[in-house]
Amino acid sequence: MRSLAASLLAVSLALPLAGQEKLVESIEVRVVNVDVVVTDRSGNPVTGLTKDDFQLFENGKPQTITNIYEVRPETTTAAKPSVGGALEPAPAAAAPAPPPVEMRQRRLALFVDNSSLGVFERRKVLDALQKFIQRDMRPGDEASLVAWNPGLRIVTPFTDDRKLLLAGLKEMSTHTTTASDLQVQPELIKRRCNEYLESAKARDLTFPQALDMCIGGVSAFSEELAHNARNVLEAMRLTSTTLAGVDGKKVMVIAGAHLPERPGLDLNMWAYQLFQQYMRGLNQMRAMTETSHNLQTFSIEKFAKQANADNVTVYIIDAADARDVASAENASAVDPIEAYAKFTNTAMAYQTIASITGGVMVNSTNYDSAFNTIAKDLGYYYSLGYKPGDDAKAGDRKIVVKAKNPDYRIRSRETYQPKSSEEQINDRVIANIYHSSVKSDWPIRIVTGAPVREGDRFRIPLQIAMDSNGVTLLPQEGQMVGGFNVYLAVGTDGGAMSKVSKSPQSVKVPATAEKDLRAKPMTYDMSIVVRPGESTLSVAVVDQISNNSGFARTKIVAR
C-alpha cells in the first residue's frame, strides 16, 4: 500500500524553478485546542464549567488556559456544579456563546475491519450506525465509510448527504464475505499439531520433533498475523490522515474484532500446553518469548499518537463475539488460558488506542450503546485552548487535563505533536482530496488536458489559473518581488495517496508593470504522471509572504 501511494504521482514542471531569499520572516504563535469530556460519577455530562475549573499540564508543566468553549445542546438537563461541589440537575437554560463555526463542524470516519469481523457482527455494527446517522447527525455533519477487506477501500467519501451514507451502508451490509484465512487457519494449524502429537505418541516422531513441526506452523501464522496487523494500522493511519487538514470535531470509529498486541500469543500458548504433559520443563511462558519479535505495542501507540497529532478522537467497537470460544468458527475446545490471552491481546490494543486519543472502547454486543456514547460525547464537551511551551523539541508532548472538583471524570487526548506550517499545509492538501469544504482564501482553478500514455503510466498536462491579486509583492530596487508555492497530491478511493509535492515559484516584475500583472489571472503550466484509473488531484497555492492560500481539486481519469 505504501509503495502504491508513493508511485501514484510524479510531477514535471513546465516552468523553471527560481530560487530566492526569504523575503519575510514570520513567527506563528498558535493556540492548541484540547477537547475534554467531563462527566460525573454516574457518567452524566457536566455543563457550565469555566477555565478556572480545569488544570492543564504539558510535559508536567502547568499551562495557562487562554480560552474555553463549551459545546452542548441549546437547552440541557445535564448535571451542573453546585456551590458545595455536589451535583444537582440543571434546569433548562440557554446555552453559552457557541464556539466558532469552524470548530462546531463535526466529521466522523467509520473504519470497518472486515478481515476480523464476522458477517453477523458487521451487520449489527452497520445497523447501529444507520440509527446514529438518522437520529444524531445534524445538518452540515460529514461522515465517511471505510472498509478493510483486506485492502483499504473508501466506500463513501466524506459527505453530509444522508442518502449517500445510507446507500454506502447498504452496500457494506450486503457485501458477501467468507471467513478470511486469518479466521480459518488456526483450526487447521491445531488439527496438524494434534496429528504431529499423535505421530509422537505412536513413536513415528519424537516429541521434540513433533513440537518443532507444530511451532513451525504456528510461527508462520504468527508472522502473517503481525503483517496483517501492521497493514490494518497503516490503513487506520491513512484514514486519520484524511481528517488531519480540516477543522472541527473529528472522530474516527473503528469496528473490529482482532488487532493483537502480540500476534500469535494465544496459539503459541495453546501449542505449548498441548505438549506440556509429554515434555518435562515445557511451559507456556515460552510462548511469550516466541512472539516477542511480533510485539505491536509501538505501532499501536504510534497510530494513536498520529491520531492525536491530527486531533482525531478514536472510538473502538470491539466485537468480541468473533473471539468467543463458543463461536461457530471454533470447532475445537479452547483452554481458558488461551481464550483469555486471545481476548485480552486485542482488548489491550484497542484500549490503548482509545485511552491515548481520549475516546472510549466499547466491548459489548450492544452497538447501539456504543453509538449513543459517541453521540453524547459529540453533544457535550469543552475545548480548552492554551499556547504551547516555547520548548523547541520536536515530537510528542504529554498533555494532562484535570478537573479541580474530584467528583468529575475527565477524558481528553494524552499527547500533542506540534506541526510546522509546512506540515499543516500538507495536511490540508491531503484533506482537500477527500473533503469539499477545505477553506480557500485565494480563488484558483485547475484545467486538465488529455492524458497521454507513457509506458504503464499516463502524463496529464495541467494549467493552474489563479487570481493575480492574491500574490503579495514588495518593492525591491525598482522591482516588485514576491512568490508562491504550488502543492500537489493525488489520492484514490482505494486509500492510496501520493506524497505532497512542493514547487516554489518567484514573481518579479518592474514596478511600472504591476498594474498590468494584476489585470489578468496568472497561469502556471505543468504536468503530472499517474497510474491508470480514476483519482483526485488536489492543488494548493500559497503566497510566500502573506501565507494566503487557495485550494482546488479535480477528478482525473487516465485511460
422: in domain: no
Distance CA 36, CA 446 (A): 40
Are 347 and 393 members of one domain?
A: no
Residue 179's pLDDT is 52
Are 302 and 388 members of one domain?
A: no
95: in domain: yes
300: in domain: yes
Residue 51's pLDDT is 93
Q: What is the CATH number of the domain that holds 530?
A: 2.60.40.10
Are 296 and 199 members of one domain?
A: yes
For 206-237, what is each residue's pLDDT tens digit?
Answer: 999 999 999 999 999 989 888 888 999 999 99
Are 396 and 368 members of one domain?
A: no
pLDDT average per 10 residues of sequence, the chain (559 residues): 40 40 48 94 94 95 94 66 51 56 84 86 91 93 91 92 94 69 83 96 95 94 89 93 92 92 87 89 70 72 94 92 46 60 83 96 86 94 88 77 96 92 93 88 94 93 94 94 96 85 94 94 92 94 95 93
* DSSP string across 163-215: HHHHHHHHHHHH---PPPHHHHHHHHHHHHHHHHHHHHHTTSS-HHHHHHHHH
The residue count of the chain comes to: 559
- At 259, is the secondary structure helix, strand, or coil? coil
The CA angle 429-431-434, to the nearest 5 degrees, is: 120
- Structural domain harbouring 397: 32-103+380-416
505: in domain: yes
Mapping DSSP onto H, E and C, the string for 41-66 reads CCCCEECCCCHHHEEEEECCEEECEE
Question: Please, are residues 255 and 117 in contact by the beta-carbon 8 Å criterion?
Answer: yes
Are 58 and 149 members of one domain?
A: no
Q: Name the H helices within 245-321.
A: 265-276, 285-290, 297-309
Residue 559's pLDDT is 87
25: in domain: no
Residues 6+ apart with CB under 8 A from 400: 56, 57, 60, 414
Question: Please, are residues 342 and 264 in contact by the beta-carbon 8 Å criterion?
Answer: no
Q: What is the CATH number of the domain that holds 209?
A: 3.40.50.410
Are 304 and 224 members of one domain?
A: yes
Q: What is each CA distance from 232 to 151, 281, 363, in whole angstroms?
A: 9, 37, 19
Are 357 and 497 members of one domain?
A: no
Q: Is the dihedral of CA 33, 34, 39, 41 positive or negative?
A: negative
Q: What is each CA distance from 58 to 377, 394, 396, in whole angstroms?
A: 24, 14, 10
Are 178 and 110 members of one domain?
A: yes
365: in domain: yes
- Packing angle between helix 297-309 and helix 207-244, nearest 10 degrees? 0
* DSSP string across 2-33: HHHHHTSEEEEESS--------------PPEE
Instruction: Report which of 238, 344, 351 is spatially closest to residue 301, judged by C-alpha positions.
Output: 351
Give the cell for residue 541.
Answer: 497555492
Domain count for the chain, please give it.
Answer: 3
